[in-house]
Amino acid sequence: MNILLIGYGKMGKTIESLAVKKGHRIAGIIDIHNQEEIKHIEADVAIEFSRPEAAYENVKRCIERKLPVVCGTTGWLEQKKEIEALCEQQQGTFFYASNFSVGVNIFFKVNAHLAKLMNGFPGYNVIVDEIHHTQKKDAPSGTAITIAEDILKNLQRKNSWINKSEENDEQLSIVSHRIDPAPGTHSVKYTSVIDDIEIKHTAHTREGFALGAIEVATWIVQEKKQGLLNMDDFLKL
């Protein structure tokens, strides 16, 4: 498989290393200095882990040239609907996930189910806590936002999230910490005067995220997948 790698930070370099070990070829690497080359490098699929301010244009260029794109950049999702509309118009392939780890996506399902259970117990308040390394550009993390949105869908007493300690009972607080060298820890805690209930996912390395992105890209190419796709489609959870 020939991969166009877009973004060459910590994740990009990890994806490159693992992809080569698995026998794939890096057809080209796009970084801040050569973004226009996306239009010209031949590849089977693009894997995009860049920066929030660059992701929209990177993905747009891939879709416009009918290059399937797997995107894991967070912090730009206010423009995601435009990309989805373009993908449908161009009959392209766009796979987005806030997190490519299998464990995290299982955690998402557990979190949503727990929120549904806790909807009937108003004596418990809930908070989302996330820890990442200091070089992470966005806060809260895309993973934390996915966790929060799944809680909001299932817990009627919360109607919005806020990235600090809550100011009223209807807000869901996401507390973000930036501590090196943490690759990513996310927890959801329900507290009452009687007891606490907590679920947590702790990543030990970035390799789980990178490997997941490579496996998704392989699936798209081998199965000739088209359209708007996500981890539910891939994992069939």
Catalytic center residues: 132, 136
Contact 2, 43 (CB under 8 A): yes
Q: For residue 110, what are the β-bridge partners?
A: none
Helix (H, G, I), strand (E, B) or coil at 68: coil
**Cα–Cα distance measured from residue 115 to residue 190, given in angstroms and rounded to the nearest whole number:** 9
Residue 81, CA atoms < 13 Å, CB-side half-sphere: 1
Please give the span between the terminal C-alpha atoms of the chain, in angstroms, as a whole number: 26
Kindly state the tokens that stand for 67: 């290059």
DSSP string, 67-82: --EEE---S-GGGHHH
